[in-house]
């Protein structure tokens, strides 16, 4: 029998038999010979609150590669069951789930996509009504050569901007030791991090901001990152459009096309205009997206709506073709504004 401090006999017994049995043990009756039966030994265990105790406190250091996730364990015993709370290196309580952190059901803390700013001492606090216990874990990133926007070595990208607007060239650098970051403009000027001068600003995160861009700003901008383990570079080719116009269609945006029963070829056009010239993509009835240069040999969902998407820096427009009936089309290819379908005549059963 288990009881808690303050429990009464009526709380321990829920039926008459139990009550009478316990009464006879506590208050035995005198026998015929005037003697009392031997009093039985009766042990009652008392269960009360137990303060939390965190196990495996020996894990005091966790190392992880930059960009990967780290797992910080914290398992505690106690009565009532302790609640787990994590404190960040900046002394704020970590929420149970966010883009950066997640506290698992067993108390483990998951730190997602570790960056240098995540390093430091994390505190796990286990708490219940009887007290609390604390475990400290230090998170460190491994030594690593620089990488830019998730890429090591050399990489290139293109950015299209509109005249007199602001262009932002991303250069998110990670590495340990913390790399030195700087930009080189098309004219050979070196811009350190951070930097502010005229229309150019290099933010502390490495991104280059150009305000009021002009046609003369076009060219290759190079972001470089270097530490004692290596270096990385990113070339951003900046193009500037003098005037931006959202893509438009000169024909109705929705057309219904019946497919002939004898097969043949069907060409779907996407005559969109815009400044700068839009980029095109087709979306098939089954949701597959095709961009210029992509070939898809065969698909079965031929009926339905074919969507052409035209997009530039000013916006996006869409044209739809609805195919109502006919034969199964096979794609011969898609190039920019045109979409070629070859309709195969099916044999009668």
**Which residue did the predictor score with more confidence, 199 or 246?**
199
pLDDT confidence tier of residue 11, bands split at 50, 70 and 90 = very low
Q: Does the structure show a pLDDT above 60 at 345?
A: no
Q: Does the structure show a pLDDT above 50 at 3?
A: no
The pLDDT score that the predictor gives to residue 332 is: 44
Matching residue, tokens 């994390």:
122
**Shared domain check, 336 and 279:** yes
**Last residue of some domain: 95, 124, 141?**
141
**Shared domain check, 64 and 39:** no
Examine residue 118 and state whether it is found in any structural domain, yes or no: yes
Kindly state the DSSP code that residue 151 receives in the 8-state scheme.
Answer: B
Q: Does the structure show a pLDDT above 70 at 325?
A: no
269-289: average pLDDT: 84
Matching residue, tokens 């996407």:
270
**Last residue of some domain: 110, 141, 172?**
141
Highest mean pLDDT among 167-181, 236-250, 283-297: 167-181
**Shared domain check, 181 and 234:** yes
Q: Does the structure show a pLDDT above 60 at 40?
A: no
How confident is the model over 183-211, as pLDDT tens digits? Answer: 999 999 999 999 999 899 999 999 999 99
The pLDDT score that the predictor gives to residue 63 is: 95
Q: How far apart are CA 81 and CA 58, in angstroms?
A: 22
The pLDDT score that the predictor gives to residue 301 is: 54
Mean pLDDT estimate for the chain: 80
**Shared domain check, 129 and 80:** yes
CATH code of the domain covering residue 59: 2.60.40.10
**Last residue of some domain: 94, 115, 141?**
141
Q: How far apart are CA 297 and CA 295, in angstroms?
A: 6
**Shared domain check, 195 and 286:** no
How confident is the model over 300-313, as pLDDT tens digits? Answer: 556 788 888 898 87
Q: 3-class DSSP state for residue 205?
A: coil
**Shared domain check, 234 and 211:** yes
**Shared domain check, 57 and 37:** no
Examine residue 6 and state whether it is found in any structural domain, yes or no: yes
**Shared domain check, 88 and 16:** no
The pLDDT score that the predictor gives to residue 96 is: 87
The pLDDT score that the predictor gives to residue 25 is: 41
The pLDDT score that the predictor gives to residue 17 is: 40
22-42: average pLDDT: 53
Edge-to-edge order in the sheet of strand 338-344 = 264-269, 338-344, 328-335
- Note the pTM of the prediction, 2 decimals: 0.54
**Shared domain check, 195 and 108:** no
The pLDDT score that the predictor gives to residue 304 is: 82
**Shared domain check, 267 and 315:** yes
**Shared domain check, 42 and 66:** no
Q: How far apart are CA 35 and CA 106, in angstroms?
A: 59
Number of H helices, E strands in the chain: 2, 32
Examine residue 72 and state whether it is found in any structural domain, yes or no: yes
pLDDT confidence tier of residue 344, bands split at 50, 70 and 90 = very low
Highest mean pLDDT among 42-46, 55-59, 218-222, 318-322: 218-222
The pLDDT score that the predictor gives to residue 36 is: 55
**Shared domain check, 65 and 39:** no
Q: How far apart are CA 250 and CA 269, in angstroms?
A: 11
Residue 116 token pair: 């240098």
The pLDDT score that the predictor gives to residue 191 is: 95
Examine residue 349 and state whether it is found in any structural domain, yes or no: no
- What is the count of structural domains for the chain? 4
Q: Does the structure show a pLDDT above 80 at 330?
A: no
Q: 3-class DSSP state for residue 275?
A: strand
Examine residue 20 and state whether it is found in any structural domain, yes or no: yes
Examine residue 266 and state whether it is found in any structural domain, yes or no: yes
pLDDT confidence tier of residue 249, bands split at 50, 70 and 90 = confident
Query: Which residues, in sequence order, are CB contacts of 186 under 8 Å at separation 6+?
Result: 218, 219, 220, 221
Give the number of other CB atoms < 10 A from CB of residue 51: 17
The pLDDT score that the predictor gives to residue 339 is: 58
How confident is the model over 101-140, as pLDDT tens digits? Answer: 999 999 999 999 999 999 999 999 999 999 999 999 999 9
Domain that holds residue 57: 50-141
**Which residue did the predictor score with more confidence, 129 or 97?**
129
């Amino acid at each position: 029998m288990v009881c808690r401090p303050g429990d009464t006999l009526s709380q321990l017994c829920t039926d008459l038999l139990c009550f009478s049995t316990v009464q006879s043990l506590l208050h035995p009756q005198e026998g015929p010979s005037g003697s009392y039966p031997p009093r039985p030994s009766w042990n009652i265990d008392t269960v009360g609150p137990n303060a939390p105790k965190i196990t495996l406190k020996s894990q005091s250091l966790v190392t992880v590669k930059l960009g990967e996730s780290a797992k910080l364990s914290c398992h505690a015993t106690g009565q009532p069951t302790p609640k787990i709370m994590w404190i960040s290196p900046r002394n704020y309580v970590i929420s149970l789930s966010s883009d950066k952190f997640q506290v698992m059901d067993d108390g483990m803390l998951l730190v997602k996509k570790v960056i240098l700013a995540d390093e430091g001492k994390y505190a796990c606090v286990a708490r219940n009504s009887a007290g609390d216990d604390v475990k400290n874990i230090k998170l460190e990133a491994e030594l690593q050569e620089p990488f830019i926007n998730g890429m090591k070595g050399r990489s290139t990208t293109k950015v299209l901007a509109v005249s007199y607007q602001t262009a932002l060239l991303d250069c998110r650098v990670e590495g340990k030791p913390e790399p030195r970051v700087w930009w080189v403009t098309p004219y050979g000027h070196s811009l350190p991090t951070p930097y502010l001068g005229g229309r150019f600003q290099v933010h502390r995160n490495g991104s280059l901001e150009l305000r009021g861009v002009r046609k003369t700003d076009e060219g290759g901008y190079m972001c470089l990152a270097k530490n004692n383990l290596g270096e990385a570079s990113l070339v951003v080719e900046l193009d500037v459009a003098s005037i931006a116009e959202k893509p438009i269609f000169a024909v109705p945006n929705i057309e219904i096309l019946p497919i002939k029963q004898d097969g043949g070829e069907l060409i779907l056009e996407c005559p969109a205009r815009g400044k700068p010239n839009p980029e095109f993509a087709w979306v098939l009835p089954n949701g597959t997206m095709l961009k210029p240069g992509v070939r898809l040999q065969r698909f079965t969902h031929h009926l339905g709506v074919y969507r052409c998407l035209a997009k530039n820096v000013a916006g996006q427009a869409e044209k739809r073709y609805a195919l109502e009936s006919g034969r199964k089309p096979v794609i011969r290819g898609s190039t920019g504004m045109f979409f070629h379908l070859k309709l195969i005549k099916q044999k009668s059963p």
